[in-house]
Amino acid sequence: MAHSLSEQCTPLKREYDTCFNAWFEGYLEPALSTSATSEQRSKYSQEKAAEYEQSCGKIWMEYRKCVQKAVKDKGLDVLLDQAREENPLKTPPPPSSGGHPVSS
C-alpha cells in the first residue's frame, strides 16, 4: 500500500486501507442470488453500508481530516481552489432513453 500525502497520515491510511479491503471483500461475496428481488438487494446494500460505517467510518473520518490538514499545510488548498474555479465540476446530463443523446 502506498504512503499518504503526509507521513503523519500514513498510519491512518494503512489502517483505513486494511479495514476497507476487509469490508469490500465481504461486500463482493455473492450474498444474494440473481433471483433476489430489488427489495432484498436494497436491504443487503443498506446492511453493508451500515457495516462499513460501524467498522471503517470513524477511521475514514480521521484519515480524511489528516489529509485535509496536510493539503492546507502544503499550500495545495489554494491550487485546488484555483483548479475548481477554472474547471468546475458540472452536473452530468440526465440519462436519455436507449443510451443515446436525445436530438432536438
Mind listing the pLDDT tens digit for each residue in 36-87? 788 888 888 899 899 999 999 999 999 999 999 999 999 999 999 999 999 8
User: Look-up: residue for cell 436491504?
Assistant: 43
Q: How far apart are the C-alpha atoms of 47 and 66, rounded to whole Å?
A: 28
pLDDT for 32 equals 56
CB 15 within 8 A of CB 66: no
Would the pTM count as exceeding 0.85? no
Q: How far apart are the C-alpha atoms of 74 and 93, rounded to whole Å?
A: 35
- The Cβ of residue 44 has, within 10 Å, a number of other Cβ atoms equal to 14
User: Look-up: residue for cell 503523519?
Assistant: 8
Phi/psi region, residue 28 (left: phi>0; alpha: psi -120 to 50; beta: rest), is: alpha
Percentage of the chain surpassing pLDDT 70? 85
63: CB partners within 8 A, 6+ apart: 4, 9, 12, 13, 15, 16
30: CB partners within 8 A, 6+ apart: none
